[in-house]
Amino acid sequence: MTQPLFLGIDVGTGSARTGAFDQHGTLIASHSVAIETFHPKPDFVEQSSSNIWSAICEATKAVMSAGNITPNQVKGIGFDATCSLVVMDSDLQPVSVNPSGQNERNIIVWMDHRAIDQAARIDAQAHPILQFTGSTISPEMEVPKLLWLKENMPDAFAQAAHFFDLPDWLVHRATGSKVRSLCSATCKWTYQGKNGCEGQGWDDGFFNSIGLGSLLENNAGKIGNQFAAPGAAIDAGLTKAAAAELGLLQGTPVAASMIDAYAGALGTLGIASVDTNQSDNSARLALISGTSACHIAVTQEPTFVSGVWGPYFSVMGTQQWVNEAGQSMAGALIDRVLDGHSATADLRLQAKTTDKTIYDLLEDVLIEQAGGATDTHALTRHVHVQPDFHGNRAPLADPSRKGAITGLSKECGTLDLALQYLATIQALAYGTRQIIDAMNDKGANIDTIVVSGGLARNALYLREHADATGLKILQPATQEPVLLGSAMLGATAAGQFTTLQDAMRDMSGPAATITPRSDGVQRYHDAKYAVFLKMQADFAAYRTLMTSAGDT
């Protein structure tokens, strides 16, 4: 009998990836294909649904070949993707979201901030539904983007017959179904599932108050009127056409999808506990760090935290509440700091001649300067980074904030770059600490961080997070926890498991533990965290001063 396998398909900001896993969560093969991203003007970020689907097909065929997998071995497929807005016409063809009218650019990417003004005006309505978005709606969510499209590209808005979240569009492209996932609809569109709260479903009063009431016409057909829990099997599975494009069999079960960060949480939160002293009422935080960072915590009761999204019901497992925070730039912030430094080009050339990455080389510089790896953290005593280069997603929920670096000198060589790199990683850790403090102040009781995403493989990032937060960190052994989360969706849809919780129990593997270091190290980070908070307050003070100067 051939071994049953399950495919996890993930679309991140920069690539589409496919991974094949067995029922125990063992990775058989994986492959990544870059996708195109367009930046036509500041704060505009666009992609193409056709380009993404082509990349998925290429990645899937490569996995099948690399793993020597036959189509009949694949028993289920799960999709996850960034929470980006996909716009299609009545013939399910792309509708441009670009003012120049290029139809292939039909996706407004999650990190696009063109709708900051629309988000602010939605906030001004102070509608009760915003209690589920941390009392303020983000321009990274879909509703402000839809309002921007209506106001700035009315012809495209009128032409559009279908607005999908990207994970839902992938399922539609694979199955032909218009069933949406409760994960995307609840977390990014303000849909309210059957959670015992008032205003279940789409809230007519909210959409009418912000000028988007037309989206609810014809039974809300443009934005969805059929929903399924993540992991539920969608209709008859793969269509004949999609199966041919992917190199799979028609009818292969396809699961209701997840946002990529939630797939990362699904693939990590179920790892076996390594701490027998963990209390029954303590909670784990899933930290999914790639281009951006998401912080996801599961609770049994709804927890309302100002500036933190949620609580969301049954978006990752039945009868559970989820809160989501995050940083709009994580890996992208590190890249931004490196790209803005004069020493980076030479260091990248050096990396090409060695077996090390530029990050390895920077850490080598830090170790040499400190006289060992133990004390590198203290090199940034006078170098501090305020990481809100693309706004603050949580807990301040202010997309207009900007970042800063202080402690600059006349030096601009490799050591200066290494110090800025370390200070940036530390700033991201302090942002995580601030988010956890906000959640714990409302009773979340988080005492452990479980990591996934590209930065989960960066040892310095993990060490600084453990030391800065004072919490232990679990680093899953699997190299692809986000893909594993999507494969869990596929396995559940295929009937291999009854619930996602069962899949998490059986497919999650072991983890390494990183523990915070001594009191002296923690005192150092406490002081730098105080600087971090002071820099946030200073930015607000600077903005107030400049506002008083008027527009001149």
pLDDT of residue 274: 46
Would you put residue 387 in left (φ > 0), alpha (ψ -120 to 50) or beta?
alpha
CA–CA distances in Å: residue 279 to residues 275, 446, 469: 9, 11, 19
DSSP for residue 192: B
pLDDT < 70 regions, the chain: 1, 194-199, 272-281, 551-552
Domain regions of the chain by residue span: 331-433+519-547
Token pair for 54? 């082509």
| Apex 51 CA angle, 26 and 348, nearest 5 | 70
SS3 450: strand
Rounded distance between C-alpha atoms, residue 1 and residue 4, angstroms: 9
DSSP for residue 128: G
Rounded distance between C-alpha atoms, residue 307 and residue 275, angstroms: 31
pLDDT of residue 70: 98
CA–CA distances in Å: residue 291 to residues 13, 52, 111, 113, 241: 7, 17, 10, 15, 32
Pick from 44, 205, 188: nearest CA to 116: 44
* pTM of the shown model: 0.96
pLDDT of residue 193: 78
User: In this structure, what are the phi and psi dihedrals at residue 405, rounded to the nearest 5 degrees?
Assistant: -125, 130
Would you say the C-alpha torsion 446, 450, 453, 457 has a positive or negative sign? positive
Is 280 exposed, middle or buried (CB count within 10 Å of its CB: 0-12, 13-18, 19+)? Answer: exposed
Element at 466 (helix H, strand E) = helix 459-469
In this structure, are residues 450 and 284 in contact, taking their beta carbons and an 8 Å threshold?
A: yes
In this structure, are residues 416 and 341 in contact, taking their beta carbons and an 8 Å threshold?
A: yes
Class of the CATH-defined domain 331-433+519-547: mainly alpha
User: In this structure, what are the phi and psi dihedrals at residue 341, rounded to the nearest 5 degrees?
Assistant: -115, 140
Rounded distance between C-alpha atoms, residue 229 and residue 319, angstroms: 11
**Cβ of 53: how many Cβ atoms within 10 Å?**
20
